[in-house]
Amino acid sequence: MNNYQGERVPKENLETFVEEIFLKAGLDEEQSKLIARHLVFANLRGVDSHGVSRVGIYTKRLDKNLLNKKFEPVIKRESPVSALIDAQNVSGIPVATYGMELAVEKAKKSGVGIVGINNSNHCGMMADYVKKAVDNDCIAIATTNAPSNMPPWGGKERFFGTNPFSYGVPAGEEANILFDMATSKVARGKILLAEKNKQEIPLGWALSPEGTPTTNASKAVDGVVLPVGEHKGYGIAFLVETLSALFTGAAFGPYIGDLYKELNHSQNVGQFFLVMRADLFQELETFKKRMDQIIREVREVPLMDGAKKIYLPGEMEMETAKEREENGIPLSLEVIDELVQVAQRYDVEPSLIQTYV
Q: How far is CA 301 from the centre of its chain?
A: 31
- pLDDT tens-digit profile of 236-280? 999 999 999 999 999 999 999 999 999 999 999 999 999 999 999
Please report the pLDDT score of residue 155 as a whole number. Answer: 86
**How far apart (Å, rounded) are the C-alpha atoms in residues 150 and 237?**
9
Residues 6 or more apart from 267 whose CB is under 8 A from it? 120, 121, 122, 147, 251, 256, 257, 258, 259
Is it the case that residue 79 has pLDDT exceeding 60? yes
What's the mean pLDDT in 320-328?
97
Q: How confident is the model at residue 355 (pLDDT cuts 50, 70, 90)?
A: low
Instruction: Give 119-143 pLDDT, tens digit per residue.
Output: 999 999 999 999 999 999 999 999 9
Say yes or no to pLDDT of 215 above 50.
Answer: yes
Give the HSE-up count for residue 95: Cα atoms under 13 Å, Cβ half-sphere. Answer: 33
pLDDT at 356 over 70: no
Domain ranges across the chain: 8-184+227-279+318-353, 187-226, 293-317
- Mean local confidence (pLDDT), 40-53: 96
Q: Which residues of 88-104 are buried (b: 16+ CB within 10 A; e: fewer)?
A: bbbbbbbbbbbbbbbbb
**Stronger pLDDT, 204 or 82, i.e. the higher one:** 82
Cross-strand partners of 269: 120
Architecture category of domain 187-226 in CATH: 2-Layer Sandwich (3.30)
CA 245 – CA 255 distance, rounded (Å): 11
Query: How large a percentage of the chain has pLDDT more than 90?
Result: 86
Q: What pTM was estimated for this model as a whole?
A: 0.92
Given the candidates 3.90.1150.10, 3.30.1370.60, 3.40.50.300, 3.40.720.10, the CATH classification of the domain at 8-184+227-279+318-353 is 3.30.1370.60
Instruction: Determine the Cα–Cα distance for residues 176 and 224; give it in Å rounded to an integer.
Output: 34
Instruction: Collect contacts of 71-78 with beta carbons under 8 A, ≥24 apart.
Output: 71/28, 71/30, 71/31, 71/95, 73/98, 73/117
Amino acid symbol at 36: A
Mean pLDDT, to the nearest integer, of 147-171? 94
What's the rounded mean pLDDT across residues 9-27? 97
> How do residues 99-125 score in pLDDT, each as one tens digit?
999 999 999 999 999 999 999 999 999
Q: Taking the mean position of all CA atoms in its chain, how far away is CA 26?
A: 23
Whether the domain at 8-184+227-279+318-353 and the domain at 187-226 fall into the same CATH topology: no
Answer whether residue 185 shows pLDDT above 90: no
pLDDT for the residue numbered 4: 40
Reduce the DSSP state of residue 261 to 3 states and report it.
coil
